[in-house]
C-alpha cells in the first residue's frame, strides 16, 4: 500500500510524513472508522469513507468499524446550526440493526473488527472521564466554526455538544488507533483525538480526511436529514435513476468516489453520466442489475413508459389513508417533507396531480400508482 493510493479521493492527510513512516514500518496498523447510528440508512457519502477503510483492509491492516451507539445518544455537533435532537436507546438500536448489512456492501465484515463504543464508555466512571477531559483545552472547542457561528447568532450550544469530541477522542485512545478515517467535516473531532493521545503519552494517530460527497441537490453534502442522499440499500433502478438526475458538474466527482473509469474521449454529459451510474450500481448489485436498470431508465424517459423495474411496491395495512401518509410512508420522509412535496405539486396519483394533503387515497383491488417528482414511482397496495 502506497501513500499515492491512500491519497486517492482524499482531501487531507495529517500528517503525510507520519503515515509514510507507518506504512513503511511493515506492521499491521490499527485503522479506525467511526459511524453513529443516527438514521437507519447508510448512503453513498458513507461509502466514500468505508471504501477508504477497505483499502487498508485489503492491504492486511487491522480495521475497526466503531458503531457509536453511545455517541449517537449525544449527537455529533459537526456541521449543524442547532442542537441535534437526542435519540432514544430504542431508536439507536433500530438504526444499528441495519448498519452492518449495509456496510457489508462495501467492506469485508469477516475482516473487520466490529466494536460498539458503549462497551468502554458506559463503564467509565466520572473521575476517569474528567481525567481525560482535563487534558483538552475548551478554547479549541468553542472556536470551531459551527459553535462560533451559533454563539455569534445567540443560539444555544449544549454542554453535551462540547463533550462529544472528547468522548469520540476516547475511542481512539481505547483502540490505540494509528490511523483514523473521516470526512472533512470531522476534522476537529479527529484532531482532538490525536491531541488526547499525545497528552497521554501515546503515538498520535494519523488523520485521513476524505472528500465529502455532494448530495443530489447539487449544493449540500449528502445527508439523510437534507433528503439529498442515495441509500446503499435502494433498489438498482432507483439508485440508477437518482444518479442520472445529478447535475452534470457532479459526474466526475461521483465517478471518482467509486473509482469508476470514464472514457476521456466521451464528452457528452448524458453518456458520461450513464457510464458513471452503471459503474456505481454495478459495485453494489452487479453488472446484470446495472444494465437492467439502465434499460428500464431509457424505456421510461426516452419512450415515455413506466417500467415495472422502476416501480417500488409499498404495502399499507389500511385500505383508506390520507395522501400525506401515503407520501411519507412510500418515500420514508417526515410528514413535513411529504407536505412540502404535495404543496410543490410534485405528487401524482395514476398520472394526475394531487394537492390536498388530507385527501383520502382508496386502496382496493385496482392498482394505485404514486409518482413523486419525475422519476420515483410506487405501486400502492392494501394487504
Convert the pLDDT of each residue in 352-380 to its tens digit. Answer: 888 888 888 888 756 688 888 877 888 88
Other Cβ atoms within 10 Å of 366 Cβ, number: 7
pLDDT at 318: 80
Bigger pLDDT: 72 or 58? 58
> Does residue 283 have a pLDDT over 90?
yes
User: What's 366's DSSP letter?
Assistant: S
**Which of 31-45, 190-204, 348-362 has the highest mean predicted lDDT (pLDDT)?**
190-204
Give the count of alpha carbons within 13 A of 46, CB side only: 27
Q: Lowest-confidence range among 88-97, 233-242, 247-256, 269-278? A: 88-97
Given this model, what pLDDT does residue 36 score?
A: 82
Q: Report the C-alpha gap between 56 and 10 in whole angstroms.
A: 14
Residue 348 pLDDT more than 70?
A: yes
CA 281, CA 234: separation in Å to the nearest integer?
10
Domains and CATH numbers, the chain: 3-210 (3.40.50.620), 236-305 (no CATH), 310-382 (3.10.290.10)
Predicted local distance difference test score (pLDDT) of residue 280:
96
Segment 199-225, tens digit of pLDDT: 999 999 999 999 999 998 888 889 877
Lowest mean pLDDT among 96-100, 129-133, 146-150, 215-219: 146-150
Confirm if 368 and 350 have CB atoms less than 8 A apart: yes
* Cell numbers for 224: 439523510
Residue 85's pLDDT is: 62
345: left (phi over 0), alpha (psi -120 to 50) or beta: left
Q: Is 162 helix (H, G, I), strand (E, B) or coil?
A: helix
**20 compared with 155, residue with greater pLDDT:** 20
Of 27-41, 149-163, 187-201, 289-303, the poorest mean pLDDT is in 149-163
175 vs 318, higher pLDDT: 175
Share of the chain above pLDDT 70, in %: 91
Q: Give the three-state DSSP class for 355.
A: coil
Q: Answer yes or no: is pLDDT of 91 > 90.
A: no
> Per the structure block, which three cell numbers stand in for 263?
472514457
**Strand stretches in 49-174, DSSP E:** 62-67, 112-116
CB 314 within 8 A of CB 356: no
Is residue 125 classed exposed, middle or buried when 0-12, 13-18 and 19+ CB atoms within 10 A define those classes? exposed
Average pLDDT of 325-342?
88
40 has a pLDDT exceeding 80: no
Q: Would you say residue 77 has pLDDT above 90? A: no
Q: How confident is the model at residue 78 (pLDDT cuts 50, 70, 90)?
A: low
Residue 82 above 70 pLDDT?
no
Cβ atoms of 380 and 311 within 8 Å: the answer is no
Q: Global pTM?
A: 0.75
The answer to whether residue 83 scores a pLDDT higher than 90 is no
The CA distance from 289 to 15, in Å, is 41
Q: Which of 42-51, 285-294, 297-306 has the lowest mean pLDDT?
A: 297-306
H/E stretch holding 265: none
- H/E element, 380: strand 376-382
Residue 178: pLDDT above 70?
yes
Amino acid at each position: 500500500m502506497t501513500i499515492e493510493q491512500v491519497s486517492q479521493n482524499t482531501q487531507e492527510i495529517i500528517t503525510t510524513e507520519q503515515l509514510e513512516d507507518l506504512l513503511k514500518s511493515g506492521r499491521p496498523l490499527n485503522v479506525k472508522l467511526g459511524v453513529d447510528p443516527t438514521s437507519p440508512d447508510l448512503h453513498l457519502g458513507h461509502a466514500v469513507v468505508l471504501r477508504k477503510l477497505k483499502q487498508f483492509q485489503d492491504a492486511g491492516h487491522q480495521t475497526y468499524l466503531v458503531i457509536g451507539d453511545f455517541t449517537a445518544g449525544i449527537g455529533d455537533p459537526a456541521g449543524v446550526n442547532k442542537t441535534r435532537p437526542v435519540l432514544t436507546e430504542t431508536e439507536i438500536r433500530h438504526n444499528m440493526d441495519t448498519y452492518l448489512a449495509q456496510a457489508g456492501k462495501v467492506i469485508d465484515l469477516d475482516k473487520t473488527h466490529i466494536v460498539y463504543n458503549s462497551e468502554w464508555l458506559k463503564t467509565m466512571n466520572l473521575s476517569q472521564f474528567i481525567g481525560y477531559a482535563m487534558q483538552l483545552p475548551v478554547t479549541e472547542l468553542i472556536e470551531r466554526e459551527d459553535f462560533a457561528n451559533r454563539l455569534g447568532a445567540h443560539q444555544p450550544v449544549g454542554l453535551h455538544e462540547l463533550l462529544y469530541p472528547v468522548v469520540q477522542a476516547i475511542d481512539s485512545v481505547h483502540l490505540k488507533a494509528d490511523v483514523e478515517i473521516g470526512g472533512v467535516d470531522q476534522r476537529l473531532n479527529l484532531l482532538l483525538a490525536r491531541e488526547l493521545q499525545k497528552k497521554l503519552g501515546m503515538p498520535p494517530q494519523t488523520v485521513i480526511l476524505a472528500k465529502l460527497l455532494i448530495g443530489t441537490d447539487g449544493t449540500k453534502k449528502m445527508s439523510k436529514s437534507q433528503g439529498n442522499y442515495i441509500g446503499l440499500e435502494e433498489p438498482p433502478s432507483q439508485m440508477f435513476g437518482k444518479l442520472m438526475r445529478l447535475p452534470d458538474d457532479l459526474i466526475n466527482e461521483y465517478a471518482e468516489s467509486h473509482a469508476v473509469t470514464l472514457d476521456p474521449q466521451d464528452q457528452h454529459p448524458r453518456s458520461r453520466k450513464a457510464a458513471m451510474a452503471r459503474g456505481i450500481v454495478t459495485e453494489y448489485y452487479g453488472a446484470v442489475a446495472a444494465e437492467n436498470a439502465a434499460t428500464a431508465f431509457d424505456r421510461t424517459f426516452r419512450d415515455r413508459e413506466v417500467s415495472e423495474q422502476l416501480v417500488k411496491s409499498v404495502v399499507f395495512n389500511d385500505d383508506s389513508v390520507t395522501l400525506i401518509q401515503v407520501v411519507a410512508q412510500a418515500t420514508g420522509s417526515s410528514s413535513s417533507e411529504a407536505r412540502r412535496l404535495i404543496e410543490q405539486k410534485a405528487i401524482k396519483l395514476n398520472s394526475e396531480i394531487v394537492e390536498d394533503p388530507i385527501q383520502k387515497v382508496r386502496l382496493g383491488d385496482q392498482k394505485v400508482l404514486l409518482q413523486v417528482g419525475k422519476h420515483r414511482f410506487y405501486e400502492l397496495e392494501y394487504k
